Amino acid sequence: MRAQGFPRWFLNSLLVASATTASVLFFDSLAGYTLARLRFFGKNLVFVLILSTLMVPTEMLVIPWYVMSAERGWTDTYWGLLFPGLMSASESSSCGSSSRPYPRTSSTPPG
């Protein structure tokens, strides 16, 4: 390992981690709030489908993610690293669970 490459590696890791964190915060809070607060046809089916993805181990998805990235030309790009982590089913359900107890008339917690 060369010492000159470390700042670049650190910057790459920081960029990917920051973008993934921002994406998960944005998309999962949107999905969780929508499933917890809004009423729409098929809401329970969507919730079950999101939670059913938790039953598939991540290790089983690595090869399909790589094949998909290779088909789209995303190998050796930031997008290829970011795409698998843009949303998280567990975070969507926990964001929904945390916004469920508040009354519908108020967007701020009581007290």
Say whether pTM exceeds 0.75.
Answer: no
Which residue ranges make up each domain of the chain?
18-98
The torsion angles phi and psi of 74, rounded to 5 degrees, stand at -95, 0
User: What pLDDT does 93 receive?
Assistant: 67
Of 8, 5, 19, give the one whose Cα is nearest residue 80: 19
pLDDT higher than 70, residue 53: yes
- Write out pLDDT tens, residues 3-42: 678 888 999 999 999 999 999 889 888 888 888 888 889 8
